[in-house]
């Protein structure tokens, strides 16, 4: 703990009685280029730091030449004691004696103590004595910050949470996964078959209705969740290797990937819409059943009263996605302009890496095997279909976008853990595994 002092400035304020700084171009101690007025003299930063450290303690060996080291050579002193004596000879002091302070007749110490990570034995004893005399604050005594002590709910305190049953949605997704593809397709590889499946589930219908929205509430959120879950489930039915897995394993993997899959797919949709001038640069387009939903970023009203006692504006205290960051990823997607096969590989790599890292064990082994197979398919696609011999730049751009999305998911997860401490959301889901990334 710092010793009591009446000033916490890192250096002394300007002394009205001192010679103007422009009268000295060089340090009065070592002769090198001066930095300013430090402790009553024009010095360089090195000499000021030296005096700050040794001005009071004198914690060094005595002069071996009986204090006759002479002038510094090229700004370098061979003896610390003689350097300190030179500092004192030119008027450097640890106490400010400006006209202002003379008026109030108070001696003010300019040094900041305990700046270094090491201390002498005497200093350590003094600091330990101060720590035992000064009582600890509430946060240090309890080991929790004041914000949590006075605002957060106690772990043993009961809270009234609303229960949301999502079993019906799991049953629908399970039924989809147990069936074959809606539209049979033939492709030379699993990756290209998944790309055709992506075209089918995205429903690129030019005659879709366009709706502009300004508000999203409980009903709209649930409808969008259901649409996204079933959309991902239908897409996975085009993955032959995935369909050969045990049904429970497929369902567990679906619960872990539907949110992150939807984020990347929506970003690709927005990028395509902006590139074709369907929407403006500040607008977002979402595909929902037979409609195209458009809203402006920053102007969408989000009603969270169904799941939280706080408004969306209040929850920004915990952080919210920055439009600049989202726009940056969209621009990267526009610049890349991925084909359906490349976008499919991005979706697979992002989802399989994410769900494998979360579950570990058997699911991790399955995900690694599937990623290896799809990587080989991508190589064949570039080499045989696209006739490309060098495609490392495109893969690097694809992985850069995926890493940005994964980073956003990880940051969101940390914020959610913080929100749990303050009991921000008062809802519980029948299957929490589905909403870990929400």
Give DSSP secondary structure letters for 17-63: TSPPGGG-SB-TTT-SB--EEETTEEE-HHHHHHHHHHTTT--SPPP
Tally of CB atoms within 10 A around 92: 23
Domains with residue ranges and CATH for the chain = 21-123 (3.30.50.10), 162-435 (1.10.565.10)
Tokens of 433: 């595994």
Tally of CB atoms within 10 A around 279: 19
Q: Dihedral angle at the C-alpha atoms of 130, 133, 135, 139, nearest 10 degrees?
A: 30
Share of residues in the chain with pLDDT > 90 (%): 37
Quick one: pLDDT at residue 128? 64
CB 430 within 8 A of CB 166: yes
Quick one: pLDDT at residue 63? 80
Quick one: pLDDT at residue 146? 64
Quick one: pLDDT at residue 40? 80
Residue 182: strand, helix, or coil: coil
Quick one: pLDDT at residue 299? 86
Which of 24-33, 313-322, 346-355 has the lowest average pLDDT?
313-322
264-303 pLDDT, tens per residue? 999 999 999 999 998 888 899 988 888 889 998 888 888 8
6-37 pLDDT, tens per residue? 333 444 444 434 445 455 578 888 888 888 88
Give the pairing of strands 36-38 and 215-216: unpaired
**Residue in the block written with tokens 């730091």:** 49
Q: Report the alpha-carbon distance of residue 438 to residue 436 in Å, rounded.
A: 6
Q: Report the alpha-carbon distance of residue 77 to residue 84 in Å, rounded.
A: 10
Q: Report the alpha-carbon distance of residue 353 to residue 273 in Å, rounded.
A: 28
pTM of the model: 0.65
81-97 pLDDT, tens per residue? 888 888 888 888 876 54
Q: Report the alpha-carbon distance of residue 96 to residue 102 in Å, rounded.
A: 9
207-261 pLDDT, tens per residue? 778 899 999 999 999 999 999 999 999 999 999 999 999 999 999 999 999 999 9
The arithmetic mean of pLDDT across residues 32-57, rounded, is: 82
pLDDT band at 399 (very low <50, low <70, confident <90, very high): very high
Quick one: pLDDT at residue 311? 82
Quick one: pLDDT at residue 143? 66
Give the pairing of strands 283-288 and 162-164: unpaired
Polymer length of the chain:
438
Residue 269: strand, helix, or coil: helix
Q: Is the pLDDT of residue 400 over 90?
A: yes
């Amino acid at each position: 703990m710092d010793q009591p002092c009446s000033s916490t400035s890192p250096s002394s304020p300007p002394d009205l009685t001192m010679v103007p700084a422009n009268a000295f171009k060089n340090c009065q101690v070592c002769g090198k280029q001066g930095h300013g007025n430090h402790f009553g003299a024009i010095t360089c930063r090195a000499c000021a730091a030296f005096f700050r450290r040794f001005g009071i303690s004198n914690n060094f060996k005595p002069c071996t030449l009986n204090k006759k080291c002479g002038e510094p050579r090229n700004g370098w002193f061979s003896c610390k004691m003689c350097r300190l004596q030179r500092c004192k000879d030119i008027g450097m002091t640890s106490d400010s004696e400006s006209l202002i302070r003379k008026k109030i007749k108070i001696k003010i110490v300019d040094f900041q103590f305990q700046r270094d990570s090491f201390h002498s034995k005497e200093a350590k004893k003094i600091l330990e004595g101060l720590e035992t005399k000064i009582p600890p604050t509430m946060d240090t005594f309890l080991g929790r910050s004041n914000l949590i002590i006075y605002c957060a709910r106690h772990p043993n305190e009961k809270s009234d949470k609303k229960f949301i049953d999502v079993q019906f949605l799991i049953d629908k997704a399970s039924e989809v996964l147990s069936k074959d593809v809606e539209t049979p397709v033939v492709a030379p590889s699993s990756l290209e078959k998944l790309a055709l499946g992506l075209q089918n589930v995205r429903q690129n219908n030019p005659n879709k209705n366009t709706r502009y929205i300004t508000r999203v509430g409980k009903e709209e959120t649930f409808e969008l969740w259901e649409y996204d879950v079933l959309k991902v489930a239908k897409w996975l039915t085009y993955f032959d290797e995935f369909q050969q897995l045990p049904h429970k394993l497929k369902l567990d993997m679906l619960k872990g990937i539907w949110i992150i899959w939807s984020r990347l797919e929506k970003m690709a949709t927005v990028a395509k819409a902006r590139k074709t001038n369907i929407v403006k640069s500040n607008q977002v387009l979402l595909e929902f059943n037979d409609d195209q939903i458009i809203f402006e970023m920053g102007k969408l009203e989000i009603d969270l009263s169904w799941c939280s006692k706080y408004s969306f504006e209040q929850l920004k205290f915990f952080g919210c996605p920055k439009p600049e960051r989202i726009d940056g990823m969209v621009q990267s997607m526009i610049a890349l302009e991925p084909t359906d096969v490349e976008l499919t590989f991005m979706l697979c790599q992002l989802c399989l890496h994410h769900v494998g890292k979360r579950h570990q064990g058997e699911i991790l082994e399955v995900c690694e095997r599937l990623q290896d197979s799809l990587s080989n398919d991508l190589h064949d696609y570039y080499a045989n279909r696209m006739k490309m011999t060098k495609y490392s730049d495109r893969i690097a751009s694809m992985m850069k976008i995926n890493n940005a999305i994964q980073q956003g998911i990880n940051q969101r997860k940390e914020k959610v853990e913080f929100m749990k401490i303050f009991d921000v959301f008062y809802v519980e889901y029948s299957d929490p595994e589905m909403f870990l990334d929400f």
